[in-house]
Amino acid sequence: MFRGSIPALITPFKNGEIDLKAFCDFVDWQVISGSHGVVPCGTTGESPVLDDEDVQKIMTATVEVVGGRVPVIAGTGTNSTRKTIQNTRLARQSGVDAALVVVPYYNRPTQDGLYAHYKAVHDSTDLPIIIYNVPGRCGTEISVETILKLAELPRIVGVKDATSDTSRTTEIKSSVKSGFCVLSGEDALAGAFLAQGADGCISVTANVAPAECAAFQDAWVSGNVPLFKELQSRLMPLHKALFVETSPAPVKYAASVLGICSDEVRLPLVPASPKARKRVDDALCMSGLINSLETVKQRVNG
């Protein structure tokens, strides 16, 4: 159902508020550049610090700009089942195509609790739901067994896996219903996930390299191995640099260098450090997105 390069969209800010014009221009650029879908209000979009008005504004704007050209998968998950249901219903009203629901963080539910959480969200709406498994942020990992059990529900349609364990893809794909998608949650492992049978990647790097990330995914599907390998090598320094500090600070800095938006983030995050900026500058050059470090300086200062 969902495949390819799907950017987890940053949320541009200006003086503490959403820069809606920058966001709308950014979303349109993503679609024009070949992204196979978009994810507003995810972790990369700083969902933990967005208020309800922000979320509604972002979801509505995304749906309007995309205009049905690609799927819109809204991040709706929290560590409260009631709040997640509320968010998912709001997403449905906004016209999105699916919901990305993160494993509840901090309260560390059991596998039975995770099943009950996702089933409650599933039963509350007719939206397709993608499970988001990211134990490094949530402190809890949803097991393959629980995913397979949830996949028996008609509207649980996929999982975004950020465990770094590519073998889970084969385990899931070999046992799950037809059409259930597995999406990598880590850009650096997107190729390895594809080799294990995954369908694509919900990507941070695609925020600043949408055409390249889409071409990478399409090269795998078409069997163009030389292009796949070339893009893998070219993008890897960027994949690494964008996580040198807590995301999305580095990718927002990269976006500012490319003239997409400011690098402003909301507390408790702070902008990327000088050391991180240097790593990102170098990676932008190595990826070919910027011609030289002199170009970086000109853009940052001008």
Active site residues: 132, 160
Distance in angstroms (rounded) separating the CA atoms of residues 10 and 42: 8
Distance in angstroms (rounded) separating the CA atoms of residues 106 and 121: 19
Can you list the positions of beta strands (E) in the chain? 4-7, 13-14, 17-18, 73-75, 98-102, 129-133, 156-161, 181-184, 200-203
Q: For 77-109, b where at least 16 C-beta lie within 10 A, e where not — what string?
A: bbbebeebbebbbbbbebebbbbbbbbbbeeeb
Kind of pairing, strands 17-18 and 13-14?
A: antiparallel
List Cβ neighbours of 173 (8 Å cut-off, separation of 6 or more). Answer: 180, 182, 196, 197, 198
- As beta bridge partners, residue 73 has 98
List Cβ neighbours of 37 (8 Å cut-off, separation of 6 or more). Answer: 2, 4, 6, 70, 71, 72, 73, 97
List Cβ neighbours of 265 (8 Å cut-off, separation of 6 or more). Answer: 13, 46, 248, 249, 252, 271
CA Rg value for the chain = 18
